[in-house]
Amino acid sequence: AAIFAVQMDDYLGGKPVQSREIQGNESTEFVGYFKGGIKYKEIYQWCGSSCNKYERLKATQVAVGIRDNERNGRSKLITVEEGSEPDQLIKVLGSKPVLPECDDDDDELADITNRRSAKLYMVSDSSGSMKVSVVAEENPFSMAMLLSEECFILDNGAARKIFVWKGKDANPQERKAAMKNAEQFIQQMNYPANTQIQVLPEGGETPIFKQFFKDWKDKDQSDGFGKVYVTERVAKIEQIEFDATKLHESPQMAAQHNMVDDGSGKVEIWRVENSGRVPVGPETYGQFYGGDCYIILYTYPKGQIIYTWQGAHTTKDELTASAFLTVQLDRLLNSQAVQIRVSQGKEPAHLLSLFKNKPLIVYKDGTSKKEGQKPAPPTRLFQIRRNLADITRIAEVDVDAMSLNSNDVFVLKLPNNSGYTWVGKGANKEEEQGAQYIASVLKCQTAMINEGQEPEEFWKALGGKKKYQTSSQLLTKAEDHPPRLYGCSNKTGRFIIEEVPGEFTQDDLAEDDVMLLDAWEQVFVWIGKDANETEQQESIKSAKRYIETDPSGRDKGTPIVIVKQGHEPPTFTGWFLAWDSNKWKK
C-alpha cells in the first residue's frame, strides 16, 4: 500500500497531502468521509478569560487554517468564551474542572516545555547513500532549516504524529525514501504502531506543522510591517463586480465581498438583559447603544446567521449573558446557525446590509433598557464617517470641539431641536446623506455649515473653539496611504510586531503594549500605561526602521510622535471613529 501511495503521489506531481491511517485509530478527518457521506466536523476555539488579543488572533489563524486546509473550508468555526461552553464541547471533553489563576510565568513555562516536544531530521542522499541526520534537537525551528532540495522528518512522536516534508526540488529517490524512513523511524523510536504519518509537499503545510516554526512565512505573507508600494506600480487585482443576486450561485463572490447575500432575508433583533432576550422594535433596527449587547438573527434560504453585537461600554455580566443567550438561540435552531460575534466598530458589511441601506447609529454610553435609560442630554454631537470600504457609520461622540475631524461630517443637536450639520473639507456626499438621516431620527432641524464658516453659537455649544484633527491627508480620504495600526509586544519572550487587521478602533489599543500608528505624514508611537521598557525602546527603533525602509518614496524625515496613554492629541485621536476621551479615566 505504501508503494502504491508513493506512485500515486508521483503521478499527481507530489502535491497531495498524505496521511497513514491504522485500523482502530483512524483520525476524525478520515472517518468523516464515511457513514452516509462526507461529514464535516465543527471546530471550536476556546478563549480563556485572561488570554490576550494576540493569543486570540493566533488561535483564530490556526482554526481558519485547519478549516481551509484540512476540512476543505466546510467546517463551522465556533468561538467559545470561558464560562460559556456549549453542551457539545462538554460532551467531548468531559466536565470542566476548576481552572487555576495564571500569570505570565505560566506562558514561559509552557514555551519551555513545548520546545522539547519535537525534533527535526533531514533525509538526503547527497553523500552517495540515503542518510537521516539530526537538524535540530528541539523546537521552535527556523523555517530556513527546510531546504527545497531535501526531504525532512519532523518527529512529534509524543503526540503520536510524524510529519514528512518533501522539498519541491528533492529528487525522486529522496521523496520515496522519506516515507519509508518515517515508518522505520517509528519502529526505531518504539513509538506506538498507530502513530500517524502525514506527508506534506512544500507549499502544502498544515497549521499543525507550521506551529513548530518560530518564523513561518507563507508565500504571499508580508515581511514585518509589509511592503508599501507606490500606487502606480501595484498590479491591479481583478475585482468581481458585485451582484447580490448572484451571491448564492457564486461562493467566490460571497467570499470576496464578505456578503452571503444582499441582506433581504428576515431580520429579528433582541437586546440582552438579565431576564433573557428582549425584542427590539423594527423601527429602531440599526440603532444600538454602546452600553448594551444585541442578538441579531438573520434567516435566508440557505440557513440562519446569529450576530452577537457587543457595545464598547457593556458590562462583563452582559457580555457573558450575550454568549449564553446566543448558544441558547442556536440550540432552538437545531444548532445549525452560523454564529458571529461583533465588537462595536468592527461590524462586517453583511450585518450593516440588514438595516436596508440605513447607516448604523451607535449612541454614546447609555442603554436602551427602560429601567436603565438615562435622559438624553440636551446637546449632542454625532460623527458621520464613510470608510474606504464604502461603509457609513454614525457614532455619538463627546460634545467638544476636539471631537471634530476635517475628514467627516458632524451633526450638532441643540436643546430646542435645532442644530448644525458641520461639513469637513474632506467630507463626501454619502456622509452628508448620513447627516440628514441622523437629523431625521433625532427630529431636529439643522443648518448646514462648511468647515471654516462656523457661527459663534456653534463654538459656544461645543465649549469653545479648540484644536481638532485636520491634515492634507484627511482631505484626500487617505486613499493612497490609508492609516495602519500595529501592535508591539514581547509577551512571548520575543519582540513581535503584528498589524491590526481590518478597520481599527480605540479598543485595539492594548494598555500593556506599545502601538504604532502610521498616518503617512507622521508615525505615532502610542505607549500603554502597562507597557514595559523593552517594548517602548524596541518600538521606537522599529518606527525609525519602518520609515527608513519604506520603498514608496516617503520622506525619510517623517516625524515620529511619542504619545502616552490618556494624553493623546487630536492629531492621533482623529484617526479613530468615536474616540472616547474618558475611556481610561473610568
84: Cβ contacts below 8 Å, ≥ 6 apart: 320, 323, 324, 327
In terms of domains, do 398 and 430 share one? Answer: yes
pLDDT band at 254 (very low <50, low <70, confident <90, very high): very low
- Higher-pLDDT residue of 548 and 14 is 548
Residue 91 within any structural domain of the chain: no
Among residues 143, 145, 139, which one has the least CA distance to residue 113?
139
Long-range residue pairs from 207-211, CB within 8 A, at least 24 positions apart, any chain: 207/61, 207/62, 207/65, 207/66, 207/69, 207/70, 208/66, 208/161, 209/154, 209/163, 209/165, 210/65, 211/62
Residues 387 and 441 in one domain: yes
Arithmetic mean of pLDDT, 171-189: 79
Is 465 among the domain residues? yes
First to last CA, the chain: 67
| Rg of the Cα atoms in the chain | 27
We report the CATH number of the domain holding residue 354 as 3.40.20.10
pLDDT at position 388, please? Answer: 63
pLDDT tens-digit series, residues 496-516: 788 887 778 898 898 988 999
Provide the CA 70 distance to its chain's centre, in angstroms: 21
- DSSP letter (8 states) at residue 375: P
224 lies in some domain: no
- What single DSSP character describes residue 566? T
82: in domain: no
Q: What is the pLDDT of residues 511-553, one digit of tens each?
A: 988 999 988 878 899 999 988 888 888 888 888 888 887 766 6
pLDDT exceeds 70 at position 352: yes
| C-alpha distances in Å from residue 217, one per residue of 173, 204, 229, 485 | 28, 13, 20, 20
Q: Considering only 205-209, 216-220, 332-336, which range has the smallest mean pLDDT?
A: 216-220
Q: With 0.75 as the threshold, say if the pTM is over it.
A: no
- Higher per-residue pLDDT: 569 or 477: 569
Supply the mean pLDDT for the chain.
80
Cell of 530: 502597562
Number of domains in the chain: 3
Each residue's pLDDT tens digit, 355-399: 888 899 999 876 666 655 667 889 999 999 987 667 789 999 999
Q: Do 492 and 560 fall into the same domain?
A: yes
pLDDT band at 225 (very low <50, low <70, confident <90, very high): very low
Residue 169 lies in a domain: no
Same domain, yes or no, for 452 and 505?
no
Q: Does residue 577 carry a pLDDT above 50? A: yes
CA distance 241 to 182: 49
**How confident is the model over 421-440, as pLDDT tens digits?**
999 988 889 999 999 999 99
Least confident of 86-90, 144-148, 414-418, 479-483: 479-483
From 32-41, 208-217, 365-374, 572-581, the region with the lowest mean pLDDT: 32-41
In a domain, 95, yes or no: no
For 151-169, give one letter per residue: b (16+ CB within 10 A) or e.
bbbbbbbeeebbbbbbbee
CA distance linking residue 405 with residue 466, whole number of Å: 12
Of 114-128, 289-303, 562-576, highest mean pLDDT? 289-303
- Segment 213-237 mean pLDDT: 53
- Written as nine digits, the cell of 327 is 448558544
C-alpha cell at 257: 465581498
Distance CA 392, CA 383 (A): 10
Distance of alpha carbon 469 from alpha carbon 471, whole angstroms: 7
* 356/403 same-domain check: no
Residue 410 structural domain: 380-471
Burial label for 435, CB within 10 Å (0-12, 13-18, 19+), is buried
The H or E element spanning position 518 is: strand 514-518
pLDDT at 222: 46
Q: Give Cβ neighbours of residue 100 (< 8 Å, ≥ 6 apart).
A: none
Position 309 in a domain: yes
- Asked if residue 354 and residue 393 are part of one domain, the reply reads no
Same domain, 434 and 391: yes
Give pLDDT, residue 221: 54
CA distance 451 to 469: 12
Tell me the pLDDT tens digit for each residue of 286-305. 999 998 999 999 998 888 99
pLDDT 10s digits, 21-41: 777 667 766 766 665 544 557
Statement to judge: residues 489 and 433 lie in one domain: no
Region 124-130 average pLDDT? 73
Same domain, 384 and 453: yes
Query: Residue for cell digits 482631505?
Result: 475
User: Quick one: pLDDT at residue 229?
Assistant: 38
Asked if residue 411 and residue 439 are part of one domain, the reply reads yes
Instruction: Report yes or no on 422 lying in a domain.
Output: yes
Regarding predicted confidence, which is higher, 586 or 522? 522
- Answer yes or no: do 436 and 501 share one domain: no
Both 494 and 539 in a single domain?
Answer: yes
